[in-house]
Structure 1
Amino acid sequence: MTRSDAPALAAQIDWPSIDDAQPSEEGGPIARGGFSYQDEIAVGFLLEMIEDANLLKVHCETHDDLVLVRSAGPGTERIAEYAQVKAEEPDQLWTVATLCEKKKSPNSSLFERSLARDRHAETARFRIVTLRPPASALVPLTYPADSEFRVLDCEAMREIHEELDRRFPEAKSPKGNDSAYWLAHCHWDARYDLQTVAKDNQRRLFSLGNKAGCVLLIEQITTLLEDLRAMAKTASDLQWVPHRAKKIITREFILNWWSDKLREIAEGAAQKSGGKLADKLVAVGVSADIIGLAIELRRDYAALIRSPRYMESDEIRAFQGRVKSDALTLRTQLMSGALKLDGTQFHARCVEQMDAINASRPTGVPDHSAFLKGCLYDIADRCLLRFEPPAS
């Protein structure tokens, strides 16, 4: 069988859908821990699903680091875009040589592993996500697919093709496609560092809110992104068996999530002050007497910050910033699984942290315990903090 025969023979096979076939290896979910660059990249694709009706699903740690299932339109074949996220070596300059470098075993180069993903019913596309742009020889792969500088008879692309064929003369996917197919359908996606990706996600979420008629505060954006990171991490950490459905985040699911969050923010803005706080505390089983005290502390806090004699403005901002920062840390730990608490326990942990902040105040600074707790409850009342743990 020649290389030209392979695609015709492969077309006769009834290939399984990527949504149904069990991954051949699942080392990723086993080895993962904590929030990561890959999770932030996944968040970007979850946001893209809200914007783009053709992005149907995002797989987290299934047949590749991420798999994007797309539709080119009604009645067209589905596309599976296999994304490898390479962030282990931040100073790595990717060249044709490193693309082809074998690690410890045959067929272990980045190119070979990527091409081998082409084994399902969906039309295969490929994406390489890196922290920095590749060397000049690979730059054509960063151009749009319809660019005149991406065609295979372009000099730069021809040089990459010849080098791949020289190193891997027999390379082909299970469906019979070779290096020419991979080059024609691979996108090199340089995203830079974690902070850059996170800031881009903040910008995109703010833009999505504006399009939906909801101007999001930075604290609300932070909370929403936290939810999305936890969503991606949870899906990535699970094993295919028995959690296949939870590893595949669908557009329908993310649109429902987005709609619920927009409604929650709108209702929080319209609801009587303190009402949203009460709802949040009731939802996690806090007793009525504690809820009453929490509402009073929030009201006292609101009155105090309107009084210029209570504290100098810089001091107010410092306390408010510390409360927000510590609340975010605790919430992140809860969402990541580092804190194993139910809603009532997490609420108690947040209150304890306010006492810890107060206890750490410099000598001579008055007691601000009530102010700190009032600030905590004000944050919750404005839908910037929730006490319930992530859904399992």
Structure 2
Amino acid sequence: MTVSDDQATTLAPAVWPSIDEISPQEEGGPIARIGFSYQDEVAVGFLIEMLCSPSIWKVHCETHDDILLVRCVDDVCHAEFVQVKGGQPDQLWSVANLCFRKAGAVGSSIFEVSLARDKYIEPSRFRLVTHRPVVTALRVLTSPLGAPGREPESEAVTALLDAIGQYCPETKSAKGNDAQFWIDNCVWDVRNDHASIANANLLKLIELSAQEGQCLLPEQAQVLLGELRDWAKSAGEARWIPDRDKKIITRTAICDWWCRRTDEIRDGATAPGGGKLSTKLNEIGAGSETIALAVDIRRTYAALMRTTRYMAEDETSVLQQRVKSEMMLLRARYSAGHLDIDGAAFLSLCLERLNAMNEDRPAGEKDRSAFLQGCMYDITDRCLHRFARPVR
């Protein structure tokens, strides 16, 4: 939105609306989110940051921008509008890219769209997340707010202001703020590719658990990371009406989830074998015979794993990883609401998938159904899988 000072005064409402209350003007993201894995991984990074930092109170997914952060320090809360650009050409970002207007339409450039978010009661900040670095002219934005060299009168800021003005002259937000305001409150965040962000998120979870004395193993952290991805994806796919609360993830909710899940994993590691499995099957209403049989299959599997040369080490590892991968995929679909079934039906689906895996074995290879089921029940017993829907 590009307006003059007089227009800004005329258009200004008596009271600016809050980002938490007013519906987004567009909901294109929640409707069609194919290929948004990079953005979801970025959102997960902010969820982990919210776990670590009390200054982040809320993370919006696909509301007034790709991601929106509510940061509060000394009782002042800022709305940080985050645009995520993960699919750009293999080139450095330039001022021309930043200010490029689609079909020449005023207000359509990345810069103008970002500044136009400045129309709510909360003071605005801006962030651009890209996996490609920037040219020298934009490098000043990659420094933190308030860092040396970001002063309004600095040579780098003055030059950037002039360059933006050549492409998008006299651009202002609905609140009357201009390009100088945008530069003063914008951070350019280079996060490389999807795999790099995912690895960084995994390390952050492991480091956080170590700081709290939990010491998660990598496979345990991977499970929790998968749950965070499901959460971010579900929030992005939800519609503001009727599911506004699903789109806004609060620090209270994420901290409650973290404490509950790490406690479950820790308790699962110390509980007698089969104890957690029984609890997880009982919570979906599985009968006593089903629970007893599952515990026995898991016990037999554990005994086989202690038997030398029961199976070639490579074959064992491949099958175990296959089971974990298949269960994680099904769990992600279940958690995201793509499977409209209850816990008992989800257990049945998991068993059907394991049966299909067994049927796909090479001709002449002996039956592995008990091993595959035992592996699934074992990871369930270790709190790396479950059949009930997640509680958030």
Relative to the length of structure 1, the TM-score reads 0.93
Matches within 5 A, 1:111-150: 111-150=111-150
Q: SS at 1:53's partner residue?
A: coil
Q: CA shift at 1:196, angstroms?
A: 0.8
Alignment correspondent of 2:33: 32
Q: Which amino acid aligns with 2:295?
A: I
Q: Which amino acid aligns with 1:64?
A: D
* Cα contact 1:26–1:239 (8 A) shared by 2: yes
Q: How many residues align?
A: 389
Q: Which amino acid aligns with 1:94?
A: W
Aligned Cα root-mean-square deviation (Å): 2.3
Q: Which amino acid aligns with 2:84?
A: V
Q: CA shift at 1:10, angstroms?
A: 9.2
With over 3 angstroms needed to count, the CA separation of the structure-2 counterparts of 1:171 and 1:148, relative to structure 1, is: same
Q: SS at 1:121's partner residue?
A: coil
Q: CA shift at 1:13, angstroms?
A: 4.5
Q: SS at 1:148's partner residue?
A: coil
Residue deviations 1:61-83 (CA, integer Å, cap 9, x gap): 1111111101122xx32111000
Alignment correspondent of 2:154: 154
Q: Which amino acid aligns with 2:364?
A: G
Instruction: Name whichever of 170-179 and 7-16 sits farther off.
Output: 7-16
Q: CA shift at 1:160, angstroms?
A: 1.1
Q: Which amino acid aligns with 1:95?
A: S
- Runs of at least 5 residues in structure 1 that lack an aligned partner in the other structure: none
**Aligned partners of 2:178 and 2:7: how far apart in 1?**
9
Q: SS at 2:102's partner residue?
A: coil
**Aligned partners of 1:355 and 1:239: how far apart in 2?**
36
Residue deviations 1:316-338 (CA, integer Å, cap 9, x gap): 22222222222222223333444
Alignment correspondent of 1:277: 277
Alignment correspondent of 1:286: 286
Alignment correspondent of 1:19: 20
1:308 corresponds to 2:312: no
Q: CA shift at 1:153, angstroms?
A: 2.4
- Runs of at least 5 residues in structure 2 that lack an aligned partner in the other structure: none
* Cα contact 2:96–2:167 (8 A) shared by 1: no
Aligned-residue identity in percent: 48
Q: CA shift at 1:267, angstroms?
A: 1.8
With over 3 angstroms needed to count, the CA separation of the structure-2 counterparts of 1:354 and 1:113, relative to structure 1, is: same
Q: SS at 1:82's partner residue?
A: strand
Matches within 5 A, 1:257-276: 257-276=257-276
* Cα contact 1:145–1:185 (8 A) shared by 2: yes
* Cα contact 1:6–1:177 (8 A) shared by 2: no
Alignment correspondent of 2:192: 192
Q: CA shift at 1:227, angstroms?
A: 1.2
Q: CA shift at 1:156, angstroms?
A: 2.3
Alignment correspondent of 1:89: 88
Q: Which amino acid aligns with 2:195?
A: Q
Q: SS at 2:149's partner residue?
A: helix
**Aligned partners of 1:65 and 1:286: how far apart in 2?**
41
Q: CA shift at 1:51, angstroms?
A: 0.8
Matches within 5 A, 1:168-317: 168-317=168-317
Q: CA shift at 1:3, angstroms?
A: 6.9
Residue deviations 1:265-304 (CA, integer Å, cap 9, x gap): 1221222210100111112222221111110000001111
* Cα contact 1:6–1:175 (8 A) shared by 2: no
* Cα contact 1:37–1:87 (8 A) shared by 2: yes
Instruction: Name whichever of 97-106 and 28-37 sits farther off.
Output: 28-37
Residue deviations 1:128-153 (CA, integer Å, cap 9, x gap): 01111122221111012222222232
With over 3 angstroms needed to count, the CA separation of the structure-2 counterparts of 1:380 and 1:142, relative to structure 1, is: same
Alignment correspondent of 1:345: 345
* Cα contact 2:61–2:67 (8 A) shared by 1: yes
**Aligned partners of 1:184 and 1:383: how far apart in 2?**
46
**Aligned partners of 2:78 and 2:223: how far apart in 1?**
32
Alignment correspondent of 1:383: 383
Alignment correspondent of 1:103: 102
Q: SS at 1:150's partner residue?
A: coil
Instruction: Name whichever of 188-197 and 155-164 sits farther off.
Output: 155-164
Q: CA shift at 1:8, angstroms?
A: 8.9
**Aligned partners of 1:187 and 1:151: how far apart in 2?**
14
* Cα contact 1:128–1:187 (8 A) shared by 2: yes
Matches within 5 A, 1:36-115: 36-73=37-74, 76-104=75-103, 105-115=105-115
Q: Which amino acid aligns with 1:157?
A: V
* Cα contact 2:58–2:70 (8 A) shared by 1: yes
With over 3 angstroms needed to count, the CA separation of the structure-2 counterparts of 1:213 and 1:9, relative to structure 1, is: farther
Q: Which amino acid aligns with 1:66?
A: I
**Aligned partners of 1:134 and 1:191: how far apart in 2?**
12
